[in-house]
Amino acid sequence: MANLKEIRNRITSIGSTMQITSAMKMVSAAKLKKAQDAITKMRPYANKLTELLQSLSATLEDDIENVYAEQRIVSKVLIVAITSNRGLCGGFNSAVIKGSIKHIEDNYSDKQVDILSIGKKGYDILSKNFNVIEKHNEIFDDLTFNNVAVIAESIMDLFAKGKYDKIELVYNRFKNAATQILTYEQFLPIELIEGVEVEGKMNVSIDYIFEPNKAEIVLQLIPKSLKTQLYKALRDSYASEHGARMTAMHKATDNATELRDELKLSYNKARQAAITNEILEIVGGAEALNN
């Protein structure tokens, strides 16, 4: 009977785990819907703004200073690794962490590389092997454009002052609840849209009418576009996190259900065997008395 008691305890424990994973799945599903709507609505605007900025920056005259498009010899690199503050979301965090390490080893093994961590899980691992200059774990508590803009301004200032020659974002881009795409995205310097070179200048086919003038528009557009780019990456990561957690908790609930059913079957078999043994003992005792 001790064996039966052990199986009953395991069934009860797995039942409690199922309640937790099922609740977490429902919470993540509710948060995913809101996060998915936000990134779906924002992505076309952010992509068009970035495309517009790249196109305009490529046509700027040489006398117009654009420090954020300045191409330098790369010797110092900053990787902005975007993870989450919590686990239980499958391979969401490990994909960014392992991807960042591999990206650095493959492309910047001979460069000075620092990390700016957004998300506690990334900081906990990457800080063991790399110099983490900043961490922003609190941003997911209130993920708004204004809060992200403060981080973006700090990153832009590091590039403008020449502390880094190249800055890249590493994050999970949201595709759907079950799929997150690990993305490496150049943040600074601004990648210019290549056109046709005419007399030493890039000839971009898109022709815009500028009011009041091109320089003023671009210089105001650059900071806004970069802040939007970082905000989009964080929104993508946030939606991906809840999609990954919902999927992970769904699988965990299914696995727990399967294990519980197997234990119930084992319990019923053991209970049936115990009852059969008791019946055999009674019958054997009765036969002994008759004899």
**Which residue, among 217, 112, 210, has the nearest Cα to 164 in the 3D structure?**
112
Sign of CA dihedral 73, 75, 76, 80: positive
Tokens encoding 98? 């392992």
Annotated catalytic residue within 35, 81, 89, 177:
89
- 89 tagged catalytic: yes
User: How buried is residue 157: exposed, middle or buried, by Cβ count under 10 Å (0-12/13-18/19+)?
Assistant: exposed
- Phi/psi region, residue 200 (left: phi>0; alpha: psi -120 to 50; beta: rest), is left
Rounded CA separation 146/234 (Å): 13
Looking at residue 283, its amino acid is: V
- Measured in degrees and rounded to the nearest 5, phi and psi for residue 203 equal -100, 100
CA separation (Å) from 42 to 49, 150, 247? 11, 19, 24
Which residues carry out catalysis? 89
